[in-house]
Amino acid sequence: MKKQFLLIPFFFALIVIGLGLSGMGVVIPEMAQHFSVSYSVVGRVFLFHGLGHLLSILIAGILGDIIDQVSILRLGIFLSLAGFGGISFLPSFSLVMASFLLMGVGLGFIDAMVNPIATSIFTERSASSLNIIHAFFGLGSLAAPRLYSFLVVEGYGWRNLYQICTLFTLVTLIIFLFPFIPRKNQPSQFKELLGVFKQPVLWLMGFTTLFYAGGVSTLNGWLVSYLEEGGVKRGEGAIFLSYFWLGIMLGRLILSPISDRIGHLNTIRLNALGGIVFISLFLLLPFHSTSVLLLLFGTGFMLSTLIPTTVSYAIATFPEVTSTASSWVLFNNSLGSFLFPWLGGVIGTAFSLRLTMIFVPLFLILMFLFQQWLATIGKRNVMVFNSYQKE
């Protein structure tokens, strides 16, 4: 079998994550009506799912280095399948909330394991392979809202969306049951796991993705409200936001060969600068629909490679503890996605959504500063950690 065909199962896994993360927001109004609860109550799906996803990423990363990465990945797909199924069929609101929690845990396990497993297969072009794989997260994120809209027009509802997600996840689980993934030869020792957290470069990677999430999740969470506050008609704001995610998806496909050619750190710094320029122009220039679409697309396009390339750099830097290193990067990304949109709402309520949006380039500038610091100490850290492993 050609190695390129082995990308396909990972495409499925990232689509599952995209469907799970983007499907929640679109079904909230119908769920609230179905269970006769307020938006504040039904909004707990974000809390339950977010907590499950946040904690499971780090736990799965550590378990993947101690036990077996393939088993953790399969468990994550199974838990996601159970979560999607519970949302689709369980009758009570409390059981549906528990299913969102279960889905969050499962998606976290998948998120944590896909990257180290993929890099163990695609060793020669790991960064470009991860960028291509992560592009399908964008496909899943774009698919869920559009699929739900189609179902509503055809007379179906929110449970039907999750039934389709359940079926797709079942197919994904069946694919990953085939023995095409190489197993890790020797589990890591607990001493190695503790050692990686003593390395400054790992913390800098974490701060990099924390502030990346601050910029991207704040933009994703508040752009539509900001545009509507500025006079854009209800419903049109989502179209503008979709161009940002289209830029993310296409950027990962088009820019994927660059990271392995010019290096991980050069790639993420250049992309960060591009993202800062595009989002700053969006905020500074007068509103025009065409220019806004292009600038939001450009922002997504330039920021697209940051997560997969940083994950690839973490795995290359700490090859003995790939699951823990990559999961720490993703944990901080998830933490930022959990924290900063809430902070943006507080700022928007107290002052204005304009100020909330100004924080997007500020977060990205902080990300770039940590990237610069990372580039300064990164090579030295690799030598120190390697010598630590030999002792």
> Domain 1-187 adopts which CATH fold?
Growth Hormone; Chain: A; (1.20.1250)
pLDDT of residue 22: 77
Q: Kindly report, residue by residue over 280-327, the tens digit of the pLDDT.
A: 999 999 999 999 999 999 999 999 999 998 988 888 888 878 888 889
Q: Kindly report, residue by residue over 333-372, the tens digit of the pLDDT.
A: 989 888 888 888 888 888 888 999 999 999 999 999 999 9
In angstroms, the first-to-last Cα distance of the chain is 40
pLDDT at 273 over 70: yes
Residue that the structure tokens 């993947």 belong to: 64
Q: Kindly report, residue by residue over 48-80, the tens digit of the pLDDT.
A: 888 888 889 988 888 887 878 888 999 999 999
- Provide the token pair at 374: 């990372």
pLDDT of residue 172: 96
Has domain 188-391 been given CATH number 1.20.1250.20?
yes
Q: Kindly report, residue by residue over 28-42, the tens digit of the pLDDT.
A: 778 888 888 876 677
pLDDT of residue 192: 65
Q: Can you give the pTM of this predicted structure?
A: 0.81
For the ranges 186-195, 234-243, 348-357, which has the lowest average pLDDT? 186-195
Of 366, 13, 31, the residue nearest 204 (C-alpha)? 366
Output the 3-class SS for the chain.
CCHHHHHHHHHHHHHHHHHHHHHHHHHHHHHHHHHCCCHHHHCHHHHHHHHHHHHHHHHHHHHHHHCCHHHHHHHHHHHHHHHHHHHHHCCCHHHHHHHHHHHHHHHHHHHHHHHHHHHHHCCCCHHHHHHHHHHHHHHHHHHHHHHHHHHHHCCCCHHHHHHHHHHHHHHHHHHHCCCCCCCCCCCCCHHHHHHHCCCHHHHHHHHHHHHHHHHHHHHHHHHHHHHHHCCCCCCHHHHHHHHHHHHHHHHHHHCHHHHHHHCHHHHHHHHHHHHHHHHHHHHHCCCCHHHHHHHHHHHHHHHCCHHHHHHHHHHHHCHHHHHHHHHHHHHHHHHHHHHHHHHHHHHHHHCCHHHHHHHHHHHHHHHHHHHHHHHHHHHHHHHHHHHHHHC
Looking at per-residue confidence, does 175 or 1 come out higher? 175
Please, where in the chain does CATH 1.20.1250.20 lie? 1-187, 188-391
Distance (Å, whole) CA 327 – CA 351: 35
- Provide the token pair at 272: 């960060």
